[in-house]
């Protein structure tokens, strides 16, 4: 299941993401993973959450990101939540590819794992293939 937090820069997406990570960590009976660029979330996230600096894995495009998330899911059957902060910063601003990646991840994540992304873009600028993941 994919969830999307969208809005232009400075609208509080990361704060919403941190709150969602805290809620997932408290409610999860499995593992919670947070993917970020750099280490900006490190001081805000509880130690029980697995923090991943995506720069360490050289992920730079949407196909690589879909494979990376599929790899997390394949290696950790107890993963209940994955959070990705700043997908456009990680992979680029090609909104058509964002929607295609979301479809791939939705197909492998099923109903047991929630994958939440933040995207720095106005909702009106998103494609229909992306908007369907807004909750």
For residue 2, pLDDT over 80 is answered with: yes
pTM, full prediction: 0.94
Closest CA to 10 of 86, 98, 124: 86
How sure is the predictor about 76, in pLDDT bands with cuts at 50, 70 and 90? Answer: very high
**Residue 128 pLDDT:** 95
Residue where the block lists tokens 């197909």: 107
Q: What is the pLDDT of residues 36-67, one digit of tens each?
A: 999 877 778 878 999 999 999 999 999 999 99
Q: Residue 43 has which token pair?
A: 């001081």
Going along the chain from its start, the domains and CATH numbers come out as 2-131 (3.40.50.300)
């Amino acid at each position: 299941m994919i969830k999307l937090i969208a809005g232009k820069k400075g609208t509080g997406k990361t704060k919403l993401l941190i709150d969602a990570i805290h809620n997932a960590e408290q409610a999860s009976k499995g593992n919670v993973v947070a993917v970020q660029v750099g280490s900006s979330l490190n001081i805000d996230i509880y130690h029980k959450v697995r923090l991943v600096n995506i720069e360490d894995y050289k992920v730079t495009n949407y196909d690589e990101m879909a494979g990376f998330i599929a790899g997390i899911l394949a290696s950790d059957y107890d993963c209940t939540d994955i959070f990705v902060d700043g997908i456009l910063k990680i992979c680029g601003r090609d909104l058509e590819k964002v929607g295609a990646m979301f479809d791939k991840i939705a197909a492998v994540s099923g109903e047991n794992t929630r994958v939440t992304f933040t995207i720095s873009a106005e909702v009106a600028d998103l494609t229909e293939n992306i908007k369907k993941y807004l909750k």
